[in-house]
Structure 1
């Protein structure tokens, strides 16, 4: 089964919407399952992981309701304020929903040490207790902190979104490559091969992405690398079909079993998709 391990749905002005802003014209509109179904079906993608896009409980509730009515949404990654006093109780409640498989605190615009504050510890322990994935939306300077969290909570399953957002447009590899390699040595961490095209320069070519994709695969191997589209954010830099073709090129050196892992089997394992 092929799985898109990272895509979004949103409705402008509803469910806690704060982003995308009007200046992002290609994506400043509602995106719902019917907008993705044709492209998903054309590529033989049977299931997706719908990831929260707004730091709001309303977004999580809406995604779970949408997932209950949409068979192609196999799993939902929601949002909880991990510092809230009642975060463990919220997590326990959300975990009762059969499609809630993870949480994403949206760390990319927060200080690197935010996730290490003591106030977040009870929520992280609750995620371990309820077997929820920690989706880490981060930038390269967050990688060491995520490594410390992974070491502190060795049974917390962590997935780094978008390869940790390397600075592809600047053709920068360090310290991203070094810190991602260190993180990859921790067995409870996986990484998404997604979101690369929006980190590249406009008019990107596959070879611009190749060093970064190859490093992700070298560090995590096929059993801990998950393919995702980051649709519709992807539309800022290309189409769903263009990213799929680029991905085929980037994965062309893998054998059939390893390709199957990256394109679906790893996501099914990480997010418990049957």
Structure 2
């Protein structure tokens, strides 16, 4: 049986104990609770999952913290902090004490994301360095040069780039900066979101040409898969996305597929699976 560790899933619950942020655009009719996720994981033989704090709660990580407390053997969690809050480094420390194994920043492409180059980043990256907390970045390809400057200053921080920086398939000029991050040994890339890039239907062969390019440059030991459930549901079911990676990485030798499907994730978020 193929070992599977999913590197990217969101959970939330419509519960007054965990209120959504004001203005949150929560999809209707989706059961994104941890109970629903566990049922899917068991049905499709996904042993472990890394949970990424969903934007619906903004900086309130309480639901995810409760999930990690209840199911420590199945999940690791990545929290979110307000990057412009001077107290953000202390929030990262508190989250680490709660069991979180990383922080996620999401600099947008427009002016609202310019904080990625601002003064608030220095203490935040410094705290990640001192705590050995991985930094996960949901960023468009245009932000990669600014991110690279912080990696230069903090080369010991483990950095994970989500969704291949959502680089458009027809923009090799934007893919080049992402591929250039290969020079930093602590940078990893999630080969997720092929459906959002593809002009084709499942199994998104055109997008997997880009996946193969990322793999060729970074190598299997710095690339990881993920379902992005339930964000992926408009495109494919959870089971279909699992199959997409479990069965669709035939351009890799078996040892490399094993690396991408669970060993790379364990380099960043150790679960202790052999």
Does TM, normalized by the shorter one, top 0.5?
A: yes
1:189 aligns with 2:183: no
Aligned to 2:41: 40
Distance 1:110 1:125, change over 3 A: farther
| Change in CA separation of 1:233 and 1:113 when aligned onto 2, cut-off 3 Å | same
**Which residue number in structure 2 is paired with residue 10 of structure 1?**
12
1:57-94 deviation per Cα after TM superposition (whole angstroms, max 9, x unaligned): 32x12201111112454210001112222222222111
Corresponding residue number in structure 1 for 2:59: 57
- Alignment: residue pair count: 266
Which position in structure 2 is the counterpart of 1:108? 108
The answer on whether the counterparts of 2:195 and 2:204 sit within 8 Å (CA) in structure 1 is no
Cα shift readout 1:99-141 (whole Å, capped 9, x = no counterpart): x111112223554642121122111110111111111101111
Alignment partner, residue 69 of structure 1? 70
Q: Distance in 2 between matches of 1:188 and 1:260?
A: 20
The 3-state SS of whatever aligns with 2:71 is coil
2:166 is equivalent to residue 162 of structure 1? no
Equivalent-residue separation in structure 2 for 1:30 and 1:20 (angstroms): 16
What TM-score, normalized to structure 1? 0.88
Tell me by how many angstroms 1:48 deviates.
0.3
The answer to whether the 8 Å contact 2:194/2:204 transfers is no
Residue number in structure 2 paired with 1:262: 260
Q: Distance in 2 between matches of 1:136 and 1:104?
A: 6
Q: Do residues 220 (structure 1) and 218 (structure 2) align? A: yes
In 2, distance between residues paired with 1:48 and 1:253? 24
Residue matched to 1:152: 153
CA-based RMSD of the aligned residues comes to 2.2
Tell me how far 1:45 sits from its aligned partner: 1.1
Structure 2 gaps of 5+ residues are: none
Q: Determine helix, strand or coil for the equivalent of 1:115.
A: helix
The offset of 1:16, in angstroms, is 3.4
Equivalent in the alignment of 2:96: 95
For 2:194 and 2:21, locate their aligned partners in 1 and report how far apart those are by CA, in whole Å. 24
Whether 1:239 and 2:241 are equivalent positions in the alignment is no
